[in-house]
Amino acid sequence: MRVLLPCLAILALSLGCAGPELHFDYDVKANYQAYHAYDWYAASKAAPGNPLLDNRVRRAVEAELALRGFKRETTADPEFLVTYYPVLTARGRSRGAFSIGLGMGGPVGLGLGLAAPLTARPSGQITSIVLEIKDFKTQQLVWKAAAGEVLDGSETPEEADAAVTDAVKKLLKRFPPTSNS
């Protein structure tokens, strides 16, 4: 029991502190080595009504792609197009509770309970970010990544900048994909 309780506490804390959930998918036959320049997709589904979020995501994507050696091309045809869109989901604090109970019977009862929410975020909207990359010539989607639970509406502007930058770095970590991805 002395070993079990610390393990359970660590499990509950690690579940509550997990970072954004990431998902990737891509076309294994696309020629990613031919990609050098990009531009934003004109029909982007950016953050309607939230130009601050739109600016954060665009700055983070452009900075990360520049670090990876890609340049933005606005005067000639690029090799690929980038778009993103946010996904807003309402969520309350009471969802996803994790609880454990231990007990002993007999004339003198002994009980122990442990309960921790899976998330320590307040009620509000969770913003997930989905990035998509299309081949310019074919207009076909070749790469897509999503980071869940990036923002919950409670961050300061500085925390929101850091959260978006971190999420975009993680999203683009696997772009361009290699045979090992």
Nearby residues of 37 by Cβ (< 8 Å), 6 or more positions away: 70, 71, 72, 73, 76, 78, 79, 80
Report the DSSP beta bridge partners of residue 27: none
Exposure on the CB side of residue 181, measured as CA atoms within 13 A: 18
- Beta-carbon contacts of residue 155 (< 8 Å; ≥ 6 apart): 163
Instruction: Pick the more confident residue, 133 or 121.
Output: 133
The mean pLDDT of 70-88, rounded to a whole number, is 92
Range list of β-strands (E), the chain: 21-26, 37-40, 71-72, 80-91, 97-104, 110-117, 124-135, 141-151
Cα-Cα-Cα-Cα dihedral sign, residues 134, 73, 157, 44: negative
CB 153, CB 50: distance < 8 Å:
no
pLDDT at 7: 37
Q: Where in the chain are the domains?
A: 20-93+118-172
pLDDT in tens, 38-65: 999 875 566 666 788 888 999 999 999 9
Domain 20-93+118-172, CATH among 3.40.50.150, 1.10.8.870, 3.30.160.670, 3.30.420.340: 3.30.160.670
- Percent of the chain's residues with pLDDT above 70: 62
The whole-angstrom separation of Cα 170 and Cα 14 is: 19
In single-letter form, the type of residue at position 167 comes to: A
Q: Tell the residue number behind the tokens 């002395």, with chain if given.
A: 2
User: In one letter, which amino acid is 178?
Assistant: T
Handedness of CA 161, 44, 35, 26 (dihedral sign): positive
